[in-house]
Chain A
Amino acid sequence: PGDSSALREAVAVAQHHDAVSGTERQHVADDYARQLAKGWDSCQVLVANALSLLGGTKEPLVFCNALNISVCPLSETSAQFTVILYNPLAWGVAWPVRLPVRGTSYAVTDPQGRPVASQVSRDSPKPPVPTEPPCPPCEPLTCPPQVVPVSGVTRWLRGGAGGAPGELLFQAWAPPLGFSTFGVKQLSLGAPWDPPRWPSG
């Protein structure tokens, strides 16, 4: 069962002026965070149930809460997965999707099942500032998906060693107050990645 009341209560508690502004002791701040995190968990089950019902799928839906540091076990380990973009805004959006992956070549299909052409962007063995030949700007909805290297800082944030070396980029879109579903399929493992190199020093 999904439930949004735990999150509602946690946000209500966090209306305290010390919670909003962070002027509380460390253990109090930690407790606010704990309450909010517990509220998130049960609320995500509610959202997942709704999307499953409306999307007609029995598959377990996964929220990757650490995408901002390129961590998402599902996209890093699955050769085929689905991306549902939910849009809470009152207008349609084109939205850049960026997912950590291990492969180097992927096929993405849009909600109508049409393929979106795929292109791999790899490190070229040039001097310290590797730049691709400038690509012609393309219309947002016709750009092919791409895999680009994860930045050094992000890898360091994830504790360095582990984690996917690349990120899959593609331009998604969703209608107002609605969602769109995109299919992603890994085409080939490709050669191992050579991590981006910072100039020495």
Chain B
Amino acid sequence: DPEPQIQNEHLRVLFDPITGHLREIQNLAKGFSLPVFQSFYWYNASTGDALCPQASGAYIFRPNASTPIPVAKRVATRLLKTALVQELHQNFSAWCSQVLRLRPGQPYLELEWTVGPIPVSDGLGKEVISRFETPLRTAGRFYTDSNGRQVLERRRDYRPTWNLNQSEPVAGNYYPVNTRIFIRDQKVQLTVLTDRSQGGSSILDGSLELMVSWGQRGGTPREGTPVTSPCPLQVHRRLLNDDNRGVAEPLDEPGDDGQGLVVRGRHLVLLDTAATAADQHRPQAQEMVTSPYVVLAPGPGPHLRQVSREGLGGHLRQVSREGSPGS
């Protein structure tokens, strides 16, 4: 297919016919587009060096170089187009794949990534990221939410309340992302919603990256503190050394079969004007956090087929009045 693409009434998404990577997102409703390159990379975990003996571990995120290694430069793809879903399957490696989906009525691009078991037979700890690159002029600024609510502006190599002497060019710019991260210029905003807390940053202008992670959303993740020294929030990393911060074992979960964990998650990508982007990402982030879900039953099903809040309320009162002990 010389021009592989998927489309619905909101977005058209183009892929590179040679490498299979995401290449461009077009906002059809508002008539503009943005070149977006997305791929998976891994940072090689530091085991301590001449500069500092600190190794990367459960607590500490410390890559041993600023440039991550790409998982694959070319991607095997499969395209599936039906009336209900258009999706492109990407196979980066034996342990890294992704499905990009558009459905009718869906104003965002869904990326469902599957990562692991991370190979460590080469003796290298690996910290896997998904990185989005665009030509947006962002001047070192990016935005991450604090505990799913207030969105804070972050500036690369800078702290608003003290004069920072940056010693970690990558880890020193990572922040907690509980629901969303975005970059923008005067006109356009690229937002990525997460389905769990992850570490995120914008190491290069026009780019944003998320450390693929696992973990539940429950609990109250830390206030927006940088992740230089404290822990990088349950990232999907596989490390072979302890970081001497009290856990006293490397972060190397074996998983059920002893081969290492496999993690599957979702990123929702929204391309909008900077002025109106919040109209979409606020309700969409809420749908990610408290998602509708299906419950099944064998057989043809009940007579009462649809109940809304009023109905629910009425029924509860009716049930409790009729003697059921429900309080």
Picked from A96, A182, A201, the residue with its CB within 8 Å of the CB of B85 is A96
B81 pairs with A111, CB closer than 8 A: no
CA separation between A186 and B99, bound complex, in Å?
27
Q: Is A88 an interface residue (CB 8 A)?
A: yes
For A140, the chain B residues whose CB sits under 8 A away are 103-105
Interface window among B134-142, B185-193, B215-223, B268-276: B215-223
For B221, the chain A residues whose CB sits under 8 A away are 20-21
CA separation between A148 and B303, bound complex, in Å?
30
* CB within 8 Å for A94 and B91 given contacts A22-B58, A148-B82: no
Q: Is B164 an interface residue (CB 8 A)?
A: no
Q: Is A193 an interface residue (CB 8 A)?
A: no
A21 pairs with B9, CB closer than 8 A: no
Q: What is the CB-to-nearest-CB distance from B120 to chain A, in angstroms, rounded to a whole number?
A: 16
A180 pairs with B305, CB closer than 8 A: yes
Cβ proximity bits A157-196 to B, threshold 8 Å, 1 near / 0 not: 1000000000001111011111111110000000000001
Q: Is A4 an interface residue (CB 8 A)?
A: no
For B97, the chain A residues whose CB sits under 8 A away are 153
Q: Is A19 an interface residue (CB 8 A)?
A: yes
Q: Is B258 an interface residue (CB 8 A)?
A: no
Q: What is the CB-to-nearest-CB distance from A198 to chain B, in angstroms, rounded to a whole number?
A: 6
CA separation between A72 and B295, bound complex, in Å?
11
Picked from B105, B114, B215, the residue with its CB within 8 Å of the CB of A94 is B105
CA separation between A173 and B177, bound complex, in Å?
29
Specify the main secondary structure of chain A where it touches its partner: mixed
Interface residues on B, range: 35 or more
CA separation between A36 and B216, bound complex, in Å?
10
A67 pairs with B234, CB closer than 8 A: no
Interface residues on A, range: 35 or more
Q: What is the CB-to-nearest-CB distance from A75 to chain B, in angstroms, rounded to a whole number?
A: 6
Q: Tell which of A21, A56, A57, A170 has the most Cβ of chain B within 10 Å.
A: A21
* CB within 8 Å for A175 and B306 given contacts A20-B220, A69-B264, A131-B79: yes
Specify the main secondary structure of chain B where it touches its partner: loop
Picked from B78, B247, B292, B302, the residue with its CB within 8 Å of the CB of A88 is B292
CA separation between A21 and B4, bound complex, in Å?
39
B82 pairs with A132, CB closer than 8 A: yes
CA separation between A115 and B46, bound complex, in Å?
59
Q: Is B29 an interface residue (CB 8 A)?
A: no
Picked from B216, B249, B264, B295, the residue with its CB within 8 Å of the CB of A61 is B295
Picked from A64, A72, A134, A137, the residue with its CB within 8 Å of the CB of B9 is A137
For B283, the chain A residues whose CB sits under 8 A away are 91
CA separation between A134 and B253, bound complex, in Å?
43
Q: Is B50 an interface residue (CB 8 A)?
A: no
Q: Is A9 an interface residue (CB 8 A)?
A: no
Q: What is the CB-to-nearest-CB distance from B179 to chain A, in angstroms, rounded to a whole number?
A: 15
Q: What is the CB-to-nearest-CB distance from A172 to chain B, in angstroms, rounded to a whole number?
A: 8
B297 pairs with A136, CB closer than 8 A: no
* CB within 8 Å for A196 and B82 given contacts A21-B231, A60-B297, A81-B297: no
A178 pairs with B312, CB closer than 8 A: yes
Closest to B235 in A: A22
Cβ proximity bits B283-327 to A, threshold 8 Å, 1 near / 0 not: 100110011111111111111111111011001100100000000
List 10 contacting pairs A-B, 8 Å CB cutoff, sorted by A: A19-B219, A48-B295, A62-B298, A68-B264, A129-B4, A135-B83, A146-B82, A157-B114, A178-B309, A183-B301
Name A's B-contacting residues (CB within 8 A).
11, 14-15, 17, 19-26, 29, 36, 47-48, 51, 53-57, 59-64, 67-69, 72, 74-75, 78, 80-89, 91, 93-97, 99, 111-113, 119, 121, 128-132, 134-140, 143-146, 148-149, 151-153, 157, 169-172, 174-183, 196, 198-199, 201
Beyond A26-B253, A74-B298, A132-B80, 4 additional pairs, beta carbon < 8 A = A23-B59, A134-B81, A146-B85, A153-B91
Q: Closest 3 interchain pairs by CB?
A: A82-B301, A140-B105, A57-B302
